[in-house]
Amino acid sequence: MRRWQRTALPIGQAALAAGLAWLVANNLIGHPRPFFAPIAAVVCLGVSLGQRLRRVVELVVGVSVGIGVGDVLISAIGSGPWQIALVVALAMSAAVLLDGGAVIALQSASSAVLVATLLPPSSTGGLNRMVDALIGGLVGLAVAALLPANPITVAHRQGKVVLGELAAALRGLADAVAERDGVQAAAVLTRLRTSQAGIEDFRSALQTGSEIAAIAPIRWKRRDELGRYQAALVPVDYALRNTRVLARRALAALRDGEEVPEALPDVLRCYADAVDQLRTELAEGAEPTKARAAVRDAARATTAATLGGGGFSMRVVLAQIRSVAVDLLQATGLSRSEATAALPPLTREVPPA
């Protein structure tokens, strides 16, 4: 039921768009069997959403290519197994040469198959089918604009997952370093290596949200909130990558018995708290000023005097901690130069005598 509740709105949009597309093409335009109209509407919307504007164009082009090739060839060579195979191969080849998009190629193939089997060229004009596809795509866009999903809902959900993974990794590393537990550090590293899938889901959610905010007037007011998530996406991705390197070097330091600075676990926990604050402020639609301040406070300890270690791995850990600070500050809306300037000097200069 939870899965159905999450997709109830897209399902309702697809059902409504399919019925309206048939109504428009059949009753208003006068096409007797406008089967491409509801098909185009459903494919345009899709339960997964994303790239609808491009998909409408791909649908119309794909249907046009498939119908064109099918009408010409089937009229000349008739219908049968080898004719169907030839028509599909030529239609898909033409589509790939035109654009290369998967939707265009698949729609070309399915349209050619329909022409070759169920709907011979004499039954319905090819132009009518192209118009039906265009009607379905436009109706799908209209339904998406008038009954849009909330572009922030999916962003909240995916952002919570990604930022939660980052905060948990930082806390896990803090505990592993404090307890000098290499097994726990290895477990954190293993989990971080699977984090990229969450980033890709987050990116897809923001792409879908951007599309909704662009075509749905009643969602325009959510653009600022969505923009904060978009500004955070790439820096959070980099923060996860740098934390992965940090975990790898911390594990190496523990295995090699290198000296670990006493302040390191506390700094990592402060970073984790800042990530939690960032997640909260983004979910509230607020400017993440508290998270920014928290990262700055934690970054004050990222100097060689405080976190410097004698071994190679601990020196890399210090560099990665500073890199994570820059990433998190950028995720709060600072530019890279502003984030870098917010860090303390790596080493304290000794005044001349």
Q: Measured between alpha carbons, how far is 216 from 220 in angstroms, rounded to an integer?
A: 7
Per-residue pLDDT at 48: 46
Residue 270 pLDDT level (bands cut at 50, 70, 90): very high
Share of the chain above pLDDT 70, in %: 84
Confidence of residue 220 (pLDDT cuts 50, 70, 90): low
Whether the Cβ atoms of residue 95 and residue 61 lie closer than 8 Å to each other:
yes
Q: What is the pLDDT of residue 215?
A: 66
Most confident of 150-154, 187-191, 306-310: 187-191
Task: State which amino acid sits at residue 15.
Answer: A
Among 29-43, 146-160, 206-220, 334-348, the range scoring the smallest mean pLDDT is: 206-220
pLDDT at 131: 82
Task: Tell me what pLDDT residue 186 has.
Answer: 94
Q: Is 58 left (phi over 0), alpha (psi -120 to 50) or beta?
A: alpha
pLDDT score for 306: 72
Rg (alpha carbons) of the chain, rounded to whole number: 28
Q: What is the mean pLDDT of the chain?
A: 82
Give the containing element (helix H, strand E) for 309.
none
Least confident of 64-73, 271-280, 284-293, 329-338: 64-73
Longest C-alpha distance within the chain, in Å? 98
DSSP code of residue 316: H
Worst-scoring range by mean pLDDT, 27-31, 173-177, 205-209, 290-294?
205-209
H or E stretch covering 284: none
Mean pLDDT, to the nearest integer, of 185-198? 91
Q: pLDDT class for 335, splitting at 50, 70, 90?
A: very high
Query: Which helix (H) or strand (E) segment is 81 a member of?
Result: helix 81-98
pLDDT band of 124, cuts 50, 70, 90: low
Q: Which of 41-45, 78-82, 129-133, 147-151 has the lowest mean pLDDT?
A: 147-151
Residues of the chain with CATH 1.20.58: 151-341
Selected from 1.10.287, 3.30.300, 1.20.58, 3.30.1490, the CATH number assigned to the domain covering 151-341 reads: 1.20.58
User: What does the pLDDT look like over 21-72, one tens digit per residue?
Assistant: 999 989 888 888 787 788 878 877 764 455 556 666 776 677 777 777 777 7
Q: How far is CA 233 from the centre of its chain?
A: 9
What the block records as the tokens of 31 is 């096409």
Give the confidence band of 351 by pLDDT, cuts at 50, 70, 90. Answer: very low
pLDDT above 80 for 349: no
pLDDT of res. 353: 42
Global confidence as pTM: 0.67
pLDDT-based confidence at 100, cuts 50/70/90? low
Q: What are phi and psi of 257, to 5 degrees?
A: 70, 25
Look up residue 26 and give its DSSP letter. I
